[in-house]
């Protein structure tokens, strides 16, 4: 059985689908803090199989211990964490407490119960302000907000544990900018309140929930002046986890791997592609730069291909189309 902490969330739910379709038994541990129980119905509808569910907070040592007693867990995919950059600046203690506690609790349970395979959701945010792009895993790291530091610290914790426990295997996945949704339009991203991230904001503008997109800065040193990112289809991210699970089960030690496409697109590239493939307007206004944003951030994805045999397959048209199909599904 594969345990997905935070498995009802955006990336966890897509990964659950891919795992089930690849023949794995899936157990989701989630407290539905930032997700909904109906996600389990959607996963069942897509795959024909309902994942096992433990509705717990993975900071709860006793409940996590009981879960590891109850199930025969081979690998843990640790998604459970808070993830809003702005909120982490306002509430650093909440972020450090939760995002480190969940990891420590899960890793202590893994040690106690002899579970040696861990896949961790890290983020390209650990590259801080990149000196050069594309980003390679060995490049300097450093963060600009508490959310990023929790990922940075978590990476260090995992590396230290793998050094001390020679049977342990961990793949630390640094996600770039996951967008889009499953082709069924039954699962996708459901932000609470006003979206912080670009694609959910665009889909809400396109559906009329918000009047226009604010483009945060058009004076960056990029081809059109707007920020450049490595947007990657969430299903490709999910498939990267399957490759990482297979790798972890056959190797020891910790590896850090970028999950990106290697392509950088600007904010205006995204707006124009979204309008073209979906035939809907996305009105926008140029607004001041957002604090903490970098001009460009995109991956060198070679290590993922070399080590895991994984490569992103979906293009930007498909990401924009699937994001819109999902928005139509949730707003209808
Ligand atoms: C993308 C681009 C914005 C919104 C963040 C976190 C990172 C990870 C993913 C995860 C930038 C521009 C955005 C808007 C805009 N976190 N933008 N108007 O900042 O690359 O990464 O999310 O859990 O850790 O830092 O992603 O989608 O917020 O922004 O112009 O309303 O879109 O300036 O250039 P980002 P994003």
DSSP class of 124: G
Angle between helices 92-113 and 61-70 in degrees, nearest 10: 30
d(Cα 260, Cα 240) in Å, to the nearest integer?
A: 10
Give the pLDDT confidence of 292-310 residue by residue, as tens digits.
999 999 999 999 999 999 9
Average pLDDT, the chain: 98
Contact 260, 232 (CB under 8 A): yes
Ligand 1 atom closest to the CA of 213, numbered from 1: 31
Cα 198 to ligand 1 centre (Å): 6
Mutate to test the pocket of ligand 1, among 145, 216, 286 (most ligand atoms within 8 A of CB): 216
The ligand 1 atom at the shortest distance from the C-alpha of residue 199 is 27
> pTM for this structure?
0.98
* DSSP letter, residue 291: T
| Paired residues of 175 in beta bridges | 123, 259
Span 125-129, average pLDDT:
97
Residue 84: band (very low, low, confident or very high) from pLDDT cuts 50, 70, 90: very high
Looking at residue 32, the DSSP 8-state letter turns out to be -
**9 pLDDT more than 90:** yes
| Model confidence pLDDT, tens digit, residues 261-280 | 999 999 999 999 999 999 99
- Ligand 1 centroid to Cα of residue 227, in Å, is 9
CA distance 251 to 164: 16
Name the residue with the closest Cα to ligand 1, atom 10. Answer: 83
Q: Which atom of ligand 1 is nearest to 216's Cα?
A: 30
Q: Which atom of ligand 1 is nearest to the CA of 201?
A: 31
Per-residue pLDDT tens over the stretch 174-190: 999 999 999 999 999 99
What's the average model confidence in pLDDT over 121-144? 97
pLDDT at 113 over 90: yes
Q: How far apart are CA 52 and CA 319, in angstroms?
A: 29
Q: Over pLDDT 70: what percentage of the chain?
A: 100
Q: Kindly give the distance from the C-alpha atom of residue 223 to the centroid of ligand 1, in angstroms, as a whole number.
A: 18
Mutation pick for ligand 1 pocket among 83, 154, 290 (CB with most ligand atoms within 8 Å): 290
Please tell me the residue having the least CA distance from ligand 1 atom 23. 83
Using 50, 70 and 90 to split pLDDT, how confident is the model at 332?
confident
How many angstroms does the Cα of residue 196 sit away from the middle of ligand 1?
A: 7
The residue nearest atom 14 of ligand 1, judged by CA position, is 198
Provide residues with CB under 6 Å of ligand 1.
Answer: 83, 85, 123, 125, 177, 196-198, 201, 213-216, 227, 229, 267, 290, 293
Q: Which residue's CA is the closest to the ligand 1 atom numbered 21?
A: 177
Measure 287 CA to ligand 1 centroid, in angstroms. Answer: 14
The pLDDT tens digits of the residues spanning 240-269 come to 999 999 999 999 999 999 999 999 999 999
At residue 74, does pLDDT exceed 80? yes
**In this structure, which residue's CA is closest to atom 17 in ligand 1?**
198
Which residue among 6, 145, 227 has the greatest number of ligand 1 atoms within 8 angstroms of its CB, and so is best to mutate?
A: 227
The protein residue with its alpha carbon nearest to ligand 1, atom 19, reads: 293
- DSSP β-bridge partners for residue 5: 29, 78
**pLDDT tens profile 29-67:** 999 999 999 999 999 999 999 999 999 999 999 999 999
* 147 catalytically annotated: yes
Domains in the chain, please, with CATH? 2-179+231-262+297-314 (3.40.50.720)
Which runs of consecutive H residues, i.e. helices, occur in the chain?
A: 10-21, 38-47, 61-70, 85-90, 92-113, 146-164, 198-206, 234-250, 267-278, 302-303, 316-331
For residues 104-118, average pLDDT: 98
Q: Which atom of ligand 1 is nearest to the CA of 83?
A: 23
Which of the residues 10, 95, 127, 147 is marked catalytic?
Answer: 147
């Amino acid at each position: 059985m594969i345990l997905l902490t935070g498995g009802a969330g955006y990336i966890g739910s897509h990964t659950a689908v891919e795992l089930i379709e690849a023949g794995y038994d899936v157990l989701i541990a989630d407290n539905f803090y930032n997700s909904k129980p109906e996600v389990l119905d959607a996963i069942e509808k897509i795959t024909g199989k309902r994942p096992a569910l433990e509705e717990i907070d993975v900071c709860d040592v006793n409940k996590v211990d009981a879960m590891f007693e109850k199930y025969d867990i081979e690998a843990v995919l640790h998604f459970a964490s808070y993830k809003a950059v702005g909120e982490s600046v306002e509430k650093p203690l909440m972020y450090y407490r939760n995002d480190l506690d969940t990891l420590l609790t899960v890793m202590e349970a893994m040690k106690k119960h002899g579970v040696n395979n861990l896949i961790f959701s890290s983020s390209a945010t650990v590259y801080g302000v990149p000196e050069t792009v594309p980003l390679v895993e060995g490049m300097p790291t450093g963060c600009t907000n508490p959310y990023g530091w929790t990922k940075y610290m978590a990476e260090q914790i995992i590396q230290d544990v793998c050094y001390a426990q020679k049977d342990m295997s961990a793949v630390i996945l640094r996600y770039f900018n996951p967008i889009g949704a499953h082709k069924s339009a039954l699962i996708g991203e459901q932000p609470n309140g006003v979206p912080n991230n670009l694609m959910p904001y665009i889909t809400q503008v396109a559906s009329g929930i918000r009047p226009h997109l604010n483009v945060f800065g058009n004076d960056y040193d990029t081809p059109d002046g707007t920020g450049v990112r490595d947007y990657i289809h969430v299903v490709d991210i999910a498939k990267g986890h399957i490759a990482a699970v297979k790798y972890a089960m056959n190797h020891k030690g910790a590896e850090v791997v970028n999950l990106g496409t290697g392509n950088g697109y600007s904010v205006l590239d995204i707006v124009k592609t979204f309008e073209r493939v979906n035939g809907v307007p996305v009105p926008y206004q140029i607004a001041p730069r957002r604090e903490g944003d970098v001009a460009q951030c995109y991956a060198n994805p070679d290590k993922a291909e070399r080590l895991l045999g994984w490569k992103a397959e979906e293009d930007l048209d498909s990401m924009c189309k699937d994001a819109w199909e999902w928005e139509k599904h949730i707003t209808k």
